[in-house]
């Protein structure tokens, strides 16, 4: 496909509050993205109300700066109408230039609401391979935000495959997640605070332990539990049994999954000639105006002066003052496949400003390594420490002076705890913000009005029961794989599993991977096409965009299902899938009981659910540094996990499987017609599960 090189890409700045928005304008950003009080994937940011946002947008438009609103969260069954009303008010009152979304429902609801601006598919929507771009354009998207795991060669491949009428955006700076966007359930699995809904508590930032007495102690406790459930004779035999595969290695610990920041800096110039790539995105909606001003200034300088050595040096100096985490190129350079973690170091944001001193009288003091200014912001300790907190500086403190920290008793840090400067309010920046604030204050605000209309929601269908699926991790050895009227064997599609005989292939449900990277697309497409020619008709797509692997016009015997990794959670999204030709869909296993039971009453498609088995808490392309695969490791609270590599991706599993078998009848009564049991063989050294695997069934999805 012949395409023209893009015009100069925009510098897209983050804004978590009004000061950050004004700092972005002052630094010369071409576009600003932000979230609202609801439906934002950064709910910990302060975010914006519509009246405030209408004035900020008018100010930005007066400067020829575009405004994009992030509504990039999973929409639950009861939230479709609220999302529709919010988008209708946005369209009428704010008129932003783009909406950033992850849920298919919003592609439908936004146009119903009268929104005529751009619809941008978030990294959380998981468009990771070239064919996904074609599907996105057919569904009405105007931009795709590329994943942060791609190399420069893969970004170029995506650009060259991008259809006309679709734009691409990629991150050049900011925080990295260890897990692939849209494929992380870690925070949700541990207590309902979902990354897909902007509530992630960042379990990847914690210290984990593996090997040595930590795992041995778990086995001893497990053996004691078994002893209490067995006869004395059986218990005596179990005490003498050494768990097979248990490593006797020395215990090691670290922040195995805590990533450094992405910082392409001067390498960003290699993106300038990629077709359809129109936006350089800066992550940081939870950062302050100091960070926003500096990263915008740096990348605007790098973009506008790609061959100027002095400009490069200036930009690098500015980035050093931005108060971010230590930087990494991640996987951007294909010849340097680096893991962007530092298990033995600290990956917290900010500039080290000093360390805590605890006086004999109990006072907590900081003697800073640099001058502190009024309204500077400090962070005490690291994210997973019990005394972690943030607080403002109320007066000027000279270098090596004394700052008394007044902290609650339960937040009292120990001596030597690091203190980081995470936001700086130097006089020049404050003066700039005041000038922009004065301009903002002079603008009228458009008052919000209620929305009287209601969205057109899909009508439910009554679905007939169909066979369960038993999903095997690999092809069973030594016997032919057979299905039955009650159970259909399922296999992950791959070179090994696809070697199955032609007579058996049509009786298998073939599951496509949850993530497909650019270099994997052609091989998987060939496998799917060959199986299709041999009569296979049962396929499960684990991203909606994998629909492109199959004929545009499906025959009557096609059985194409949307898999659980599609994160489907509402009726309008299911209607989009039905329009794509899917015959049914697995519902996101994240949903709690109330939402799971409500969804069949809103669905135009037959629904299924993951009923049991090891559901991953996350998938990553970044590889491993420090933690060993196929061996248990522990969280700070003693929770057990294990990790395994499949192809290009690392799969992280909890030490206890999902088990909703006792809820099956209740789910069937609600309208679910099929289920899947995921068969994954855990490590032999994994201790016996000591907790129920109900995911969010008895809790809430925040």
- Check residue 548 and give its pLDDT: 96
Q: What average pLDDT does this structure show over 242-246?
A: 50
pLDDT, tens digit (0-9, with 9 covering 90-100), for 129-156: 999 999 999 999 999 999 999 999 999 9
680: pLDDT strictly greater than 70: yes
Per-residue pLDDT tens over the stretch 328-355: 999 999 887 779 998 987 778 899 999 9
Cα–Cα distance, 312 to 266 (Å, whole number)? 7
Express as a percent the part of the chain with pLDDT over 90.
82
pLDDT digits (tens, 9 = 90+) for 176-216: 999 999 999 999 999 999 999 999 999 999 999 999 886 77
Domain 468-616+659-679 is classified in which CATH homologous superfamily?
Answer: Aldolase class I (3.20.20.70)
Which range has the worst mean pLDDT, 439-448, 612-621, 692-701?
439-448
- Cβ contacts of 213-221, under 8 Å, gap ≥ 24: 213/251, 214/251, 214/634, 215/246, 215/247, 215/631, 215/632, 215/634, 215/685, 215/687, 216/246, 218/632, 218/634, 218/638, 218/640, 218/687, 219/243, 219/246, 219/687, 221/687, 221/690
**The pair of three-digit structure tokens given for residue 319, joined into one six-digit string:** 């980035």
Q: Which long-range contacts (CB under 8 A, 24 or more apart) does 664-672 make?
A: 664/611, 666/597, 667/596, 667/597, 667/609, 667/611, 668/465, 670/596, 670/597, 670/598, 670/600, 670/601, 671/460, 671/462, 671/463, 671/600, 671/601, 671/603, 671/607, 672/587, 672/600, 672/607, 672/608, 672/609
Q: Do domains 10-176+261-323 and 468-616+659-679 have the same CATH topology?
A: yes
Per-domain residue ranges of the chain: 10-176+261-323, 327-423, 468-616+659-679
Please tell me the distance from the alpha carbon of residue 571 to that of residue 396, in angstroms, as a whole number. 55
- Higher pLDDT: 237 or 435? It is 435
The pLDDT of residue 43? 54
pLDDT digits (tens, 9 = 90+) for 451-464: 989 999 999 998 88
On the 0-12 / 13-18 / 19+ scale of CB atoms within 10 A, 111 is middle
| CA-based nearest residue to 36, from 49, 22, 27, 18 | 49
pLDDT in tens, 252-264: 999 999 999 999 9
Here the tokens at position 65 are 């700066």
- In this predicted structure, the answer to whether residue 392 has a pLDDT above a threshold of 90 is yes
What homologous superfamily is domain 10-176+261-323 in, according to CATH? Aldolase class I (3.20.20.70)
Flag whether pLDDT at 476 surpasses 80: no
Q: Tokens 């058996």 correspond to what residue?
A: 504
Is the per-residue pLDDT at 483 higher than 70? no
- Taken as a whole, the chain contains a residue count of 702
E strands along 16-142, which residues?
A: 31-35, 66-71, 98-101, 118-121
Q: Tell me: domain 327-423, CATH 2.40.30, correct?
A: yes
Report the predicted TM-score, pTM, of the whole model to 2 decimal places: 0.93
Average pLDDT of the chain is 91
By C-alpha distance, which of 615, 549, 612, 541 is closest to 582? 541
The residue-averaged pLDDT of 40-54 equals 77
- The SS3 call for residue 664 is helix
Q: What is the DSSP code string of 471-524? A: EESSPPSSS-----SSEEEEEE-STTGGGS-TTTGGGSEEEPPS---HHHHHHH
Query: Which pLDDT score, from 0 to 100, does residue 563 have?
Result: 98
pLDDT score of 598 more than 70: yes
Contact 205, 255 (CB under 8 A): yes
| Nearest Cα residue to 426 out of 507, 519, 323, 546 | 323
Q: Name the burial class of residue 311, with classes exposed (0-12), middle (13-18) and buried (19+) by CB atoms within 10 angstroms of its CB.
A: middle
Confidence category of residue 241, pLDDT binned at 50, 70, 90: very low
């Amino acid at each position: 496909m012949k395409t023209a090189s893009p015009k100069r890409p925009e510098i897209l700045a983050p804004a978590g509050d009004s000061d950050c928005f004004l700092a972005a304008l002052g630094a010369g950003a071409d576009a600003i993205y932000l979230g609202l009080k609801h439906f934002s994937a950064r709910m910990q940011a302060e975010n914006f109300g519509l009246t405030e946002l209408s004035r900020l947008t008018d100010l930005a438009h007066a400067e020829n700066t575009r405004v994009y609103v992030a509504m990039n969260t999973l929409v639950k069954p009861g939230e479709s109408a609220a999302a529709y009303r919010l988008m209708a008010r946005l369209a009428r009152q704010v008129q932003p230039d783009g909406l950033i979304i992850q849920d298919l429902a919003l592609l439908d609801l936004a146009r119903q609401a009268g929104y005529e601006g751009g619809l941008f598919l978030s990294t959380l929507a998981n468009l990771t391979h070239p064919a996904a771009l074609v599907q996105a354009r057919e569904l009405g998207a105007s931009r795709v935000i590329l994943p942060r795991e791609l190399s420069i060669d893969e970004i170029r491949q995506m650009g060259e495959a991008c259809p006309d009428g679709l734009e691409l955006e990629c991150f050049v700076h900011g925080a990295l997640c260890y897990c692939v966007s849209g494929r992380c359930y870690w925070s949700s699995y541990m207590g309902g605070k979902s990354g897909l809904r902007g509530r992630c508590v960042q379990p990847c930032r914690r210290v984990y332990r593996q090997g040595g007495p930590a795992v041995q102690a778990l086995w001893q406790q497990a053996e004691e539990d078994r002893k209490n459930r067995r006869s004395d004779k059986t218990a005596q035999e179990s005490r003498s049994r050494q768990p097979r595969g248990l490593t006797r290695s020395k215990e090691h610990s670290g922040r195995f999954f805590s990533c450094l920041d992405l910082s392409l800096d001067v390498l960003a110039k290699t993106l300038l000639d990629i077709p359809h790539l129109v936006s350089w995105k800066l992550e940081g909606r939870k950062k302050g105006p100091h960070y926003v001003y500096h990263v915008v200034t740096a990348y605007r300088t790098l973009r506008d002066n790609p061959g100027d050595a002095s400009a490069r040096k200036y930009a690098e100096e500015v980035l050093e003052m931005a108060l971010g985490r230590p930087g990494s190129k991640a996987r951007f350079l294909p010849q340097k496949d680096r893991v962007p973690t530092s298990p033995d170091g600290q990956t917290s944001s900010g500039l080290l400003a000093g360390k805590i001193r605890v006086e004999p009288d109990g006072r907590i003091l900081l003697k800073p390594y640099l001058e502190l200014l009024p309204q500077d912001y400090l962070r005490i300790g690291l994210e997973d420490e019990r005394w972690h907190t943030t607080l403002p500086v109320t007066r000027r403190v000279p270098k090596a002076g004394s700052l008394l920290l007044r902290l609650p008793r339960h937040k009292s840090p120990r001596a030597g705890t690091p203190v980081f400067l995470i936001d700086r309010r130097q006089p020049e920046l404050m003066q700039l913000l005041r000038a922009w604030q004065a301009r903002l204050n002079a603008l009228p605000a458009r008052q919000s009005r209620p929305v009287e209309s209601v969205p057109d929601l899909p009508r439910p269908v009554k679905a007939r029961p169909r066979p369960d699926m038993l999903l095997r991790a690999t092809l069973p050895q030594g016997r032919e794989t057979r299905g039955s009227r009650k159970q259909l064997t399922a296999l992950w599609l791959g070179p090994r599993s696809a070697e199955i005989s032609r007579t058996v292939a049509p009786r298998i449900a073939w599951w496509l991977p949850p993530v497909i990277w650019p270099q994997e697309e052609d091989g998987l497409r060939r496998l799917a096409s060959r199986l299709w020619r041999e009569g296979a008709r049962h396929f499960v797509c684990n991203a909606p965009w994998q629909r492109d692997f199959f004929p545009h016009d499906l025959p009557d015997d096609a059985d194409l299902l949307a898999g659980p990794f599609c994160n489907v959670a509402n009726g309008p999204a299911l209607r989009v899938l039905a329009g794509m030709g899917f015959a049914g869909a697995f519902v996101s296993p994240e949903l709690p009981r109330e939402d799971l039971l409500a969804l069949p009453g809103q669905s135009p498609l037959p629904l299924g659910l993951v009923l049991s088995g090891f559901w991953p808490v996350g998938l990553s392309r970044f590889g491993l540094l420090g933690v060993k695969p196929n061996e248990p490791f522990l969280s700070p609270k003693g929770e057990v996990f294990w990790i395994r590599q499949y192809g290009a991706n690392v799969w992280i599993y909890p030490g206890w499987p999902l088990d909703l078998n006792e809820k099956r009848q209740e789910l069937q009564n609600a309208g679910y017609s099929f289920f899947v049991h995921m068969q994954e063989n855990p490590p032999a050294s994994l201790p016996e599960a000591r907790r129920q695997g109900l995911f969010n069934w008895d809790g809430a999805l925040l």
